[in-house]
Amino acid sequence: MNITFLGTSSGVPTLTRNVSSLALKLSQSAEVWLFDCGEGTQHQIMKSNIKSSQIKKIFITHMHGDHIYGLPGLLATLGLSGNSKGIEIYGPSGLKSFVVSSLSTSFCKLSFPLSFIDVENFASNKKTLFENNDIKVNCVELKHRIPAYGYRVSEKDKQGIFNIKKAENEKIPPGPIYAELKAGKIVKLEDGRSFNGSEFCGPPKKGKSFVYCTDTVFSESAVYLSKNADLLVHESTFSKEDEKMAHEKLHSTTIMAARTALLSNTKKLIITHLSPRYTQKSAITPSDLLKEAQEIFPETSLAKDFLTVEIN
């Protein structure tokens, strides 16, 4: 899996940072999953290495405009291009009404089906939001001014490498039997011998995990969601100097994001959703924000638009 940041500013766009959006490219397929879709996201996609036709799922954290205003426009463009076969949209219960009313009042008819999945029940009951043979998605409610949700995408462990040489030495005939052994099944041959497939496979390859948490003040649920994750992308709207403002607006400081990573035993942290008050010409710069977080959690990086990161 890898991620591409399409927008890393909070509230409003700047000349160098668009508002919130992130694309996750799956290693098991050609699918792209979008997380948040602030205004201008489709323009950011066009400037990136992401193909909009590959977007199959969109996960929205909450209903603030800097996270959703780009969604109707992106869907309309996909409809005009005719490249999409259908998209699943996950988010708060008000999301469907917003999208449907935006499209209908602008007389936009999509050429592909949309399906909406409300996440509240999944979050409150700690139920898996989505799952297939390769991957699963979970979510939790964060702590913001309105209902907001964090998402975790976890690859399932992969079967270890199949030892063909060992199978040949045991004179096991190739074909469908090898597939069963690769799957770890117990196979019985016509000559009466039986073999356990797990004895022919190397150790399983652990799947990777990615967590996306924005917008939120420090939250124990974010720590729970991020437990032992390979990569945590967490909002850091404010510097530690502006902690009072962070609590008032229910956003995170750099210290809160770093503390979440530390307590959850996350391998790597990337801070994003930076307030536009912090520029290279300000008293506190984005580089200063990075240093603040690294004092608590050294494995921290700073997000910027179009940054692509492999999750490993």
Residues marked active site are found at: 66
Q: How many CA within 13 A on the CB side of residue 283?
A: 3
Contact 89, 70 (CB under 8 A): no
The answer to whether 150 touches 225, Cβ cutoff 8 Å, is yes
The neighbouring-strand residues paired with 58 are 34, 89
Of the candidates 77, 83, 90, the one whose C-alpha atom is nearest the C-alpha of residue 35 is: 90
- If one counts every other C-beta atom within 10 angstroms of the C-beta of residue 276, the result is 17
Which is nearest to 227 in space by CA: 257, 256, 255, 267?
A: 267
- Give the separation between CA 154 and CA 213, rounded to whole angstroms: 15
Instruction: Write the DSSP symbol of residue 41.
Output: H
Nearest Cα neighbor of 36 from 48, 21, 56 is 21
